[in-house]
Structure 1
Amino acid sequence: MFTPVESLIGALLIQCSVTSYMLIQGQVIGFSSIIYTMAFAPSIHSTSIVFGIYLSTQFIARYMMHILPVFALFTAPDGSNPWLISGTMENYVLSGGLVGFGTCLGCGCTSGHFIAGLSRLRWRSVVAVGCFMFSGVAIVSVLDNGITCVGGKLPCYAYDPGFHVLKHNQHVMFPLLGVAFVHSYLWLPVVSRLVKRMGNPWLIKVQQFYVGMSSGFFFGSGLIVSGMTVYYKVLGFLSMLRLEKFDPSLMIIAVFVIIPNYFIWKKFIPQSKLECSVKKPILAESYQLNFSNRTPFKFIIGNLIFGLGWGLAGICPGPGLIGACLSSKIDSMVYWIFSYLGCYTIAKKIFK
C-alpha cells in the first residue's frame, strides 16, 4: 500500500547522503559501477559505501526488523514459465543478468541516472530514465506481475489511515532522520575541512572512508525505509497501467530527493567543465563528473534492457546490494548478484 510518510523519511535520508557525499568527495553514488568495482578493483569509494550499506542492513535488522526486506525464493506454479515468475531462482538469474548487462551499456541505473542525473538536469539521464521506465512499465504490464494489496480489497494507491507501520517504527525513524541531517550537513563538512587543512594524507584517506561509510549507511537506510528494497512496492510503482495495483510511494523519492538536490547542486556543484576549475569538493582535488550528453544507440538499448530486468523482479543495483548483504547462504540475492556481475563483466569486455 501507499506509504507516504515512510517514503518521505527514506527519501530525505537518501537526499542528505548523496548531497553530502557529492559536496565532500565530489562523486556520484552510482551502485551499478560500485558493485562491479567492489568485486574486481576495490577502492576507498566503493569499499566504504558498500561497508556503509552493510551497516545499514544490520541497523535496520536490529532496530526496525519489521520493515526489513525479505528476498525469499518461490516455486513457480505447475505449467508456468519460472523465468517470468517474480521470486523464483530463474527469475532472479534472468533479472540480475539483464540489469547487469543493461546498466553497463546504459552507463548507470536508478541511483546514477534517476537520482544524480536528474538532479543535474542532464539530458543524457532524462533519456536513460525515459527508456528504463518505459521498458519497466511495459514488462510489468505484459506479465501483470504486480501484487494486489490487502488481498485485492483495496487499491494499492490507498494508504493506511492509522499509519500502523510508522507508529511501530517512529521512535527510530525520526531520530535517525535528525541524526542524518546534523551529521551530513554540519558534522561531516566541518570535520572534513579540518582534516583537509591539516594536510595529512593518511588522515584524509581515513576521513574519505568515513564519509563514504556514513553516506552508504544513510543511503542504505533510506532505500529500506522508503520501500525501494521491497520488490512488490517497486512492481507496484511500475504498474502504472493497472491502476488497482499502482503504488505511488516511490514517486516521493523523485520529489524529495531530486528537487532539493537541484537547488543545492546548482549552487555548489560545477554545471560545466569550466566551473570545475572554480568549484571544488571539500576533500577531493576536483569533482569527478561526466558532462557528456551523448546518447548513442547502445546507451538507449542498454537502458531499455535494464528496465526489462528491473520490471522482472523489482530489483535494481542498490536494493540488490542490500539483498546480498542480508544473505547468509546461497539464496535468492546471491543468484541475482552473481548473475549481475557476470553479465556486467561480459558487457564491459564486449563494448570496452
Structure 2
Amino acid sequence: MSPSPVARAEIVVDLAVIRHNVATLRRAVDPEGAGTVRMMTVVKADGYGHGMVESAAAAREAGAEWLGVATVDEAMALRAAGDTGRVLCWLAVPGEGYADPVAADVDVTAATLPVLGEIAEAAHHLQRTARVQLKIDTGLSRGGATAADWPDLVAEAARLEERGLVRVTGIWSHFACSDEPDHPANDAQEEAFRHALDVAAAAGLRPEVRHLANSAGALLRPSSRFDLVRCGLASYGLDPAPGHTADLGLVPAMTVRATLALVKPIAAGAGVSYGHTWIAPQPTTVGLVPAGYGDGVPRHASNTAETWVGGKRRPVRGRICMDQFVVDLEGDQAEAGDEVVLFGIGRDGEPTAQDWAEACGTISYEIVTRIGGRFVRRHVQPDRGAEDPE
C-alpha cells in the first residue's frame, strides 16, 4: 500500500485489525463463552492515538459491551458520534459539572464524597438517576478512595440509591504492577479490592460490574477478571507486558510512514543534524524524513531508533528535529519519494511501536499516543474500503 498522494507523512489505522484484537481478547478472558466476563475497550486519549470514535465503533462491532474514557469531554464526544452503549468515564476536577454525562446516560466515577455530591446534585436537577461507579485505591496511590474513606463513601452512595438519585453500577480499581505478574503488589491489591467489595456489600450495594484488571491483568491474572476487564493497549495489538504474555495473535493496528523528502550522499567525517551527535565513519547516503518531534516523533529516538526503507531497517542518524530527521541508507539505492515506515506491524521485519519504545526508554503506550501533529491519519478497513483521512 503506497502512502496517500497528499500526505507527506501519515498514520494508517486498520479498523479490521482492531475488531480482530477485541474479539480475540474477548475469547481469551471468557474462554468458555459464558458471557460472565464483559469487555470494556478503553478508547481514551483519542483511542491511544488510533482515533477514538473510529476505534470505539470497531470495538462495538467486535462485541465490546463497554467503552472506557478518561474525561467527560471524551464521553460526550462518543455520544455526539452516535454511540448509545455503556460508557464509563473516570477523571474530572471539582466543579467540572456532571449534568451533561448524567443526561447522556454516561456512567461517571466517584472516589470522594464531594464528587458523589456533585453527581447527585446534577441528578436531582435533571430529575433522573445518575449511573455512578465507585473507585477504591487499592495500592496505586493515584485516583480512588482511601481505605479509611471507603466506608463513608459506600454508605453515602447507598443512601443516595435509596433516594433514587444514583444507581451504583460498578465498583472498581486499577493495578499498579500488572505487567510484572510476580510483583507482590498484585496479590495485595486484589486482596484489598475484595475487602472493599465486602464493605460495599455490607452497606447494601449490589453493582452490575466489579472490575480491577487492565490489559495485562486480564491476560495474566484470571482471578482479577471479576465481571469485566478493561482492555486498552492490547485492543490496538500491542503487548501490555512484554516478555510475559502469550502470543494470542494480536496484531498492531497502526502503521506510521512517510515519503522521503530528499536523498543525498555525504562524505566520511560529515556531521548529521544538530550538534553533530553522529559523524559518518565512511561515505554513505542519507534520507530525509519529513516528520519530527513537532509531530510526536520522540526526540529520544535520536541515534537509537530504526526505520524501514527499501526492505531493510535503517538507523536514525543524529538528533530528531522539530519537522524532520535523517536516516542512514548505507549507500543503497533510494530516491526522494520512496516510502519510509517508522513503525508498523513488524510482519516483514519493519520496526514496531515496541521497538521504538525500547529505543527511547519508554513504553509503547507513549509511542502510539503521542504520534500525531501534522501526520494525516487514515482509517482503512480492507473488507470495506478506506475512510476519509483526518
Q: Which has the higher helix share?
A: 1
State the structure with more CA Rg: 2
- Give the structure-2-normalised TM-score: 0.24
Select the structure that is richer in strand. 2
The answer to which structure, 1 or 2, has the higher relative contact order (CA under 8 A, 6+ apart) is 1
